[in-house]
Copies of this chain bind each other. A is one copy, B any other.
């Protein structure tokens, strides 16, 4: 039986606060017809990433937002079904951006061919993809960790955080993670080799984190924001660096929090301790992709860098999986398996 329907998930409304299922709609279209200079790709894995929450908002962020009625965008690992492009053949595995749907056309621009013999194809969305690249550049190029320094990373068991911490260990740093569930904390210390991991659910986070960082913090890799950042702030050492990668705790904020304003405290400490806070987005660091792929692939091969995936089956479960991501319920890089992975 040949499939003829392309199932999609579209944005139905700009979420206000935490996204609800009503902010999305399921749609069906005929599978698009191939034109000259195009290929048709079937989605195998859809990547769900925190940055997507920003794209659901009205008004521009650093990239254009998704419009009402438009299919949600997103990175995917796909298989070529049919191709008019010389460089891609039917059956090839590719990193594309099909978005939240089963099929999409591509002209091959921005596509990377994947060799299942080299690494599982799903890793092109995680440890060997955008999250891994983000961790690599954010830690090494912005955080500039030196051997013996203390590196703290939040969302420590996540797609970015787990890579940040393991690269910091390879650089000879003391590495402290921050995560939610105890099983995540156990995983990053026992499996990934972090020196310590603190749950942000403890009663006295500033004190618990302080105890885990007796020499203060030299690099804080920020994925979370909110109360975690407030606990980190007083521990930042003179000349410390804070690459700002994400702030998932604040993505659903609908306005300033009613807590007393801490900007003066933040700016005061930044001045007195000569701290560098720097936001970054991985699109600005494409020149480092070859270095990233070379080094991280080698670290995976020699066993010094491990990864974990959390795979949810079925496009129809993408919305609830994304809600779980915003609540920190995933454990490892979150993927939706939209169709069967023939390499497994």
User: From residue A60, how far is it (CB to closest CB) to chain B in Å?
Assistant: 10
Asked whether A261 is an interface residue with its Cβ less than 8 Å from the other chain, the reply is yes
Question: Which chain B residues lie closer than 8 Å to A276 at the CB level?
Answer: 276-279
Which of B54, B257, B274, B280 meets A261, CB within 8 Å?
B257
User: Does the CB pair B257–A271 fall under 8 Å?
Assistant: no
Partner of A260, one of B238, B261, B279: B261
Which of the 9-residue segments A77-85, A152-160, A241-249, A295-303 touches chain B? A241-249
**How many residues of chain A get a CB closer than 8 Å to chain B's CBs?**
43
CB pair A279 B284 closer than 8 Å: no
Residues of B within 8 A of A259 (CB): 260-261
Q: Chain B contacts of A266 at CB under 8 A?
A: 263, 266
The interface residues of chain B lying within 8 Å CB-to-CB of A278 are: 270, 274-277
Query: Which residue of the partner chain B has the closest CB to A258?
Result: B260
A253 touches B247 (CB 8 A): no
The residue from B61, B225, B238, B256 contacting A267, defined by CB atoms under 8 A apart: B225
Given contacts A273-B62, A280-B274, contact A262 B256 (CB under 8 A): yes
**In the bound complex, what is the Cα–Cα distance between A175 and B278 (angstroms)?**
24
A226 within 8 A of B: yes
Which residues of the other chain, B, contact A290 by a CB distance below 8 angstroms?
A: none
Tell me the minimal C-beta distance from A62 to chain B in angstroms: 5
Tell me which residues across on chain B come within 8 A of A58, comparing CB atoms. Answer: none
> Smallest CB–CB gap between A87 and chain B, Å?
33
A229 CB within 8 Å of chain B: yes
Smallest CB-CB separation from A241: which chain B residue?
A: B278
Question: Does A30 belong to the interface (CB within 8 Å)?
Answer: no
* Contact of B255 with A267 in the complex, beta carbons under 8 Å: no
How close is A161's CB to chain B, nearest CB, in angstroms?
16
Residues from 190 to 230 in A contacting B, C-beta threshold 8 Å: 222, 225-226, 229-230
A112 lies within 8 A of chain B by Cβ: no
Q: Which of A281-309 contact B (CB under 8 A)?
A: 281, 284
A281 near B277: Cβ-Cβ < 8 Å: no
Contact partner, A263, options B263, B271, B280, B281, Cβ 8 Å: B263
Using CB atoms and an 8 Å cutoff, list the residues of chain A in contact with chain B: 54, 61-62, 222, 225-226, 229-230, 238, 244-247, 250, 253, 255-281, 284
Given A225-B264, A250-B264, 20 more A-B residue pairs with CB atoms under 8 Å apart are A62-B238, A62-B273, A62-B274, A229-B263, A230-B263, A244-B270, A247-B271, A253-B264, A256-B260, A256-B264, A258-B260, A258-B261, A260-B261, A262-B263, A263-B266, A271-B279, A272-B279, A274-B278, A275-B278, A276-B278
